[in-house]
Chain A
Amino acid sequence: MAAQLLEILKKTTDAVHCREAQTQLEQAAKSNLPEFLVQLSVVLANPQNDELCRFQAALQLKNHLVSNNNQTKMEYQQRWLMIDKNLRDQVKTNSFNALGSETRRPSSIPQVIAAIAGAELPHGHWGEVIQALATNATDEKAACRFERTKEASIEAIGYICSDVKPELLSSQSNLILTSICSGLLANQNQYIRQAAITALFNSLEFVKNNFEVDNERNHIMQVVCNQTVKDPNNSDNDVTIRTRALECLVKIAMLYYEHIQNYMQDIFKITISSMDLSQPEQIILQAIEFWSTICDEEMDLTLEAEEARESGQEPTRLSQNYADGALPHLCPKLTVLLTQQDDDTNTDEWSPSKAAGVCLMNLANSCGNNILPQVMDFIGSNFENPKWQNREAALMCFGSILEGPAVENLKPAIDQAFPIIVKAMTDPSAAVRDTAAWFVGRVCDIVPEAVLNPKIFEHVLQAMVNGLGDEPRVAQNICWAFSSLSDAAYDHAQNQLGTEDTPTTYCMSRFFGGIIEKLLATTNRQDGNQENLRNAAYEAIMELMKNAPDDCYDIVLKTTEEVMTRIQNLFAMENGIDSSMMSQYHDMQGLLCATLTAIIRKVKPEHMNELSDKCMEYLLKMLAKSNGVGSVQEDALGAVGTLIEVVGKGFEKYMPHFKPYLIVSLENHAEIAVCIAAVGVVTDLCRAMGKDFKNYFEEIMTKMYNALISASIDRSVKPQIVAAIGDSALAIGPDFSQYLAPVMEALQQAASFEVDANDYEMLDYQTDLREACLDAFTGIIQGLKGDDENSNPQASQVRALEQYLPFIFEFLCKIAENTDEMTDSLLKNACGLIGDISMVFGSTIPQNQLMQAFSAQGVQSLLQLGNRSRVDRTKRLAGWAIRQIRKIERGQA
């Protein structure tokens, strides 16, 4: 049997018989898996066998135990555990004994051991494997065979550490650490040390207890730091070990920041000397990564401390400001690295110079103003350096540090630099132009007032327009800069006028038409799919449309036509698209829909009338041709929603055609974004159609209801649905009463949802959901009341709600209690609802009963909080509600 198997395995290594052999192996596995696995281990265990065959045997064994697919992996592991214990033990013993018998690297048997351990340890079996591996690892015999066994055993430990859940191993962490540390002793060969440092990297999560104990931590840190040092007697492989050791330091900084204080002086020396140009690239990258990680941690800690202080608590952990202390030494190293760009072309490859830029960004964010004196000299003296590398580095450096320091400290330097930047946008080097364009975009984002400065504004704009014709990577950065700039210019105009309405004009008006034309041309560039240029250009057009002042309206209209033509052309192209271009084609569909949305939002109703038929025709076609691609559907639904808003009741005529798509989308629980977009459209329909929504209500409500009560749907859609229920109740008015019971049942469940107070993400969701519930209750109350002047408040439709009022009051009080989670919009909605209740039920419910409900502490504190809100609207809604209640109190209701 074994001999036969050996033959087959041999065949897998030659190309001619490979396929045949695979089939035979599959059959063997199918007919008797346990026996097959045992036989494989027998092949594996015999060092006389051909090495390649043994390797294949190991591979076969492993592949019957693990898979990249988690589900499959679990099934394999279950299958393994079903095998008779004796047979499993044979496989284990054979494999274990074979550890170290391979001459190839990487060796395969440690992976087999880890695969078996991965199946057995979670179920409490084979607990002794760690002990056995540890014994191998710490064996002091020095013969070559033992060296390989030691290496392979440590490798196996490393694999196990990376596969198995930490909590299963933490009880054996001492054993594991002892093996690893013995493997890292200076007298071990490089392969053993390499295996050991990798194992250490994989074990860092679960050695928490050891890290809490001073001398154990000291020992681990010493061992790791020692590995970062170049071994004068050792050769090439040394770099791998040193890189891994630095990676360990990065991970330690992330996991055990609070414990590294005593070692920082040494780690500092190590990382600084590792950033030297003479060092190999991977070493430099990890040293930079260490400091970027320190910045991440310290920014988090600073935030945590602020939050704690705001809520009157002592922070539990404090930042030690290592980044601040290291700044004067780090900045010179990083700026030198910045000048080491590969060449004048753009690659995605991560390099020390890119990493240095991002590290400077992190340092600026974390150290604020303190970074300025460390880098400004470098920036100033390299702007016009004859070497393009230095010019690019200066721009990169300046752009990277914009986000931390105070604006007033930055602005003079930016003002002074701008003429040079504009010049840099026509630099002979594409890399310099690229970074200059990015720099302008960063300034538009972070310090917009510097670009809006009238002295330079036109120059910058001109340079930007020119830049759109540059290489894709430069043009793409310009596009993002236009997005930010239009936003900043629009905001500025609004602030000048002190209004939130559309300004009549702004500083870009004169250039608006030219910019749009150039951007449209950019989207058509042959090389537009490079560097994401086409996307960026469309995004810029959308931003400009959104932020168009009154005097650019004509151009907005003109752009509508262009976009429609493009959609038409797109349909015409459809049949000629081969599958490799499909994803680009779908991107185009989505982008054009999104652009159309941005435009429709601006178009005045009188102009929309002419356009809407064609728009709708195209959008329906788009939905029909979306081929189930969610992103296209989402963007098309977005455009439909905006169109509904503008044409209002006139949308009714499209409903017969549109409704099927809406229903399908509401049922699309798998692609939540499509479902959310559809719910949004429902909201728009309700508002546009009013009572006429009745014709669609039941069908749509059923779909939304199903989504609401589904346990498997992504929860992010639920607040949207809850609010949309309110919208539909408001739309159809008193007729809603026939659906009241089931709807209120679902809403009560939604309103009762409560989460763990420590789960911040879920707390946000809870707040959203509560806000939506308040919306829904308001919509239902107002809807049932009806909107006629002479609607009868005694009508049974409204009174049907009375039985739910105790619950609603309870809900309000629950909201009031949770002051930590109180947002202004929650407060606003709550005050509004209280006012609605008093307005509607003031005449149907006995005064003393109603007043008793309103005098509940929760209700009172909501009103009081609302009345003191800094937000005008909230304050007024609270005032309105208070007056409504006062009317009841005085019997005037």
Chain B
Amino acid sequence: MTENRSAKYKFGDKNDKEARRKGRQEEGIKLRKNAREEQMLKRRNICMDDVTTSPLKEINVQTRPHDHLLSIEEIVKGLQSTDDNTLYEATQGARKMLSRERNPPIDDIINAGILPTLVTFLQRDDNRKLQFEAAWALTNIASGASHQTAAVVSHGAVPSFVRLLHCTVPEVVEQAVWALGNIAGDGAPFRDQVLAAGVIEPLVKIIDNTQASVPFLQNISWTMSNLCRNKNPPTALEYIRQMLPTLLQLLGMSDKQIKADACWAMSYITDGPNERIQLIIDSGVTISLIEMLSSIPDVLLLTPVLRTLGNIVTGTDQQTAAMLDQGLLSPFQTLLRHHKPNIVKEASWTLSNITAGTKDQIEQIISGGLLEELIRVLENGDFKGKKEATWAVTNLTSGGSALQVFKLVELGGLKPLCAMLQCADGKIVQVVLDGLTNMLNMADASGKTSEMTTCIEEADAIDMLEKLQEHENEEIYKAALNIIETWFSEEEDPQPASGDTYSFQAPKEQVPAFSF
């Protein structure tokens, strides 16, 4: 013990010769890695130091071995010039600095006050090279933290970028799409500014143009998904209506990344009021989404598809029923056994929305053999999966018939459900307590109280419930207490929970007495 503490006293750790030597070894490895990388770039004919194009554009190789990077001062000075060449070099200097791997000095560039100048360069249709460099530099700034994105927007870059979407030079358009995607992705306010600037119409046009390359379309699909993203408020309905046909078009493309981003857009749209869900149902896309659930093996695409359908069944009973009629449940046997825990979680969540529905809908889950699967997740899943399965099962106890609830007990659902009482997540503990209360009430009403209490006792729940009476969360302790008192009372004398956080009291000088 003393040894590892004394390493921290003064520079005890630096005096460790072995550690210093290890440091030298690691440095050697790092330097060699860099050298290897440089050598490879040469072989591949890629020159990183001086490339005048965006990452998406063809590279014209011009080897200039070691060119000088400009300092911020030089950039600021260069940008005051009247000579286009100097302006270009300064702008490029800024872009290079912002493209640096290690801590690009975004804030320094913003503080240098050159953003307004860079934004005006977006208007320079007469000098595409300059325009392009400026667009690239601004894109890199916009992809930073929120306040950095805000700096770009505050200088009026959004309308200029939207204007560039009409430009005839493909790489400039690509860069503008990229920038706008980043800005829109920052949050609802900027997203709405981008939308209001008229981004949709040119984007739609580009997609209709069959010339667009796959990576470009991937970019557009991603940008469009950002245009649908974020709540408070969600994207205005009229914009969604405008984009929907294009999103369906993107969803129909063969490239999976394009599909996936379009699908994420769908999931954002359905994560909202029921009228939006209806919009998606009416579009007729759900049949193919459901089809995708059983036909596509890769998680990249599966996740947004499942999320979208899961969102839809949070809607009205009719909307949920429509999905069930289209055969939503049939792939779920497989999904609940998926090798990715995340998919299992999403699938359980989807089912939890259905078990919150009508008795008929619950019956479909039971007859489809999915209740067993949910219990299996509850028992063996990873924690996130268990949580969703807990919700699914508990929802069933509140909306299900007595028969359906007894089915849950019969299938062995009680024990894993009660085991969740031990988890650290207070919300889940509350959910389980609600579920148990529902089940006991239900059993009471059917005259089967003692059967149910026996089952709960056999699930070892009593100890856990008693433990919960010491829980710091008042509602939990009350609910646990209530269950014990109402159904299992043998004149327990519960101790009220102690105070909330730790504020220690200074000891009196005398020896304390202990009483536990």
Contacts and interface: CB of A to CB of B under 8 A. Distances in A.
Interface of A: 214, 218, 221-222, 225-226, 229-230, 250, 262-266, 268-270, 272-273, 289, 292, 312-318, 320-322, 324-326, 329, 348, 350, 354-355, 357-358, 361, 434-435, 438, 441, 476-477, 480, 495-501, 532, 535-536, 539, 587, 590, 594, 597, 631, 634-635, 638, 641, 645, 673, 676-677, 680, 683-684, 687, 720, 723, 726-727, 730, 775, 778, 782, 787, 825, 828, 832, 835-836, 839, 857, 860-861, 864, 867, 870-873, 875-880, 882-883, 886
B71 A498 contact: yes
A727 B24 CA distance: 21
A535 B15 contact: yes
A342 B213 CA distance: 75
Interface string B1-31: 1100110111100110100111011001100
A832 to B, nearest CB: 6
Contacts of A536: 14-15
Contacts of A357: 9
Contacts of A477: 10-11
Contacts of A438: 10-11
B39 interface: yes
A264 B502 CA distance: 9
Contacts of B2: 350
Interface of A is mostly: helix
A883 B58 contact: yes
A327 B144 CA distance: 37
Nearest to A276: B509
A358 B516 contact: no
Given A498-B70, A680-B29, A835-B44, A316 B59 contact: no
B9 A358 contact: yes
Contact of B512 (A266, A322, A500, A775): A266
B383 A316 contact: yes
B24 A872 contact: no
User: Considering residues B22, B57, B298, which has the most beta carbons from chain A within 10 angstroms of its beta carbon?
Assistant: B298
A641 B24 CA distance: 13
A150 B190 CA distance: 78
Contact of A871 (B35, B101, B423): B101
Contact of B43 (A501, A787, A871): A787
Contact of B501 (A218, A325, A687): A325
B110 to A, nearest CB: 13
User: Considering residues B24, B70, B215, B255, which has the most beta carbons from chain A within 10 angstroms of its beta carbon?
Assistant: B24
Contact of B213 (A321, A876, A877, A886): A886
B9 A867 contact: no
Interface of B is mostly: loop
A832 B143 CA distance: 24
A824 B32 CA distance: 17
Given A314-B383, A314-B425, A720-B29, A877 B218 contact: no
Contacts of A354: 6, 9
Contacts of B40: 778, 782, 832
A660 B506 CA distance: 70
Contacts of B235: none
Given A498-B69, A782-B44, 13 more contacts: A221-B516, A272-B507, A316-B423, A318-B424, A498-B70, A587-B17, A645-B35, A687-B35, A778-B40, A857-B298, A861-B300, A880-B44, A882-B215
Contacts of A270: 512
Contacts of A638: 24-25, 28
Interface stretch (B48-56, B151-159, B328-336, B483-491): B48-56
Contacts of A316: 383, 423-424
A638 B33 CA distance: 15
B384 interface: yes
Nearest to A251: B1
Contact of A329 (B22, B99, B506): B506
7 contacts: A214-B467, A218-B516, A226-B514, A438-B11, A500-B102, A683-B32, A860-B255
Given A500-B100, A861-B300, A871-B101, A782 B21 contact: no
B345 to A, nearest CB: 9
Nearest to B105: A498
Nearest to A324: B502
Contacts of A266: 512, 514, 516
User: Considering residues A269, A315, A871, which has the most beta carbons from chain B within 10 angstroms of its beta carbon?
Assistant: A269
Contacts of B33: 723, 825
A684 B28 CA distance: 11
A314 B17 CA distance: 41
Interface string B473-516: 00000000000000000000000001001111111010110101
Contacts of A355: 5
B43 to A, nearest CB: 5
B516 A877 contact: no
A514 B8 CA distance: 31
A495 B504 contact: no
Nearest to A680: B28
Q: Which 4 A-B pairs have the closest CB atoms?
A: A325-B502, A269-B507, A872-B99, A879-B55
A684 B32 contact: yes
B437 interface: no
Contacts of A269: 507, 512
A792 to B, nearest CB: 17
A683 B36 contact: yes
B256 interface: yes
Contacts of B298: 857
B190 to A, nearest CB: 19
A634 B503 CA distance: 54
A888 B17 CA distance: 54
B257 interface: yes
A329 B504 contact: yes
A828 B40 CA distance: 12
A262 B472 CA distance: 12
Contacts of A872: 48, 55, 99-101
B105 A495 contact: yes
A225 B513 CA distance: 10
B97 interface: yes
Contacts of A496: 71-72
A590 B100 contact: no
Nearest to A587: B17
Nearest to A315: B424
Contacts of B238: none
B83 interface: no
A730 B37 CA distance: 13
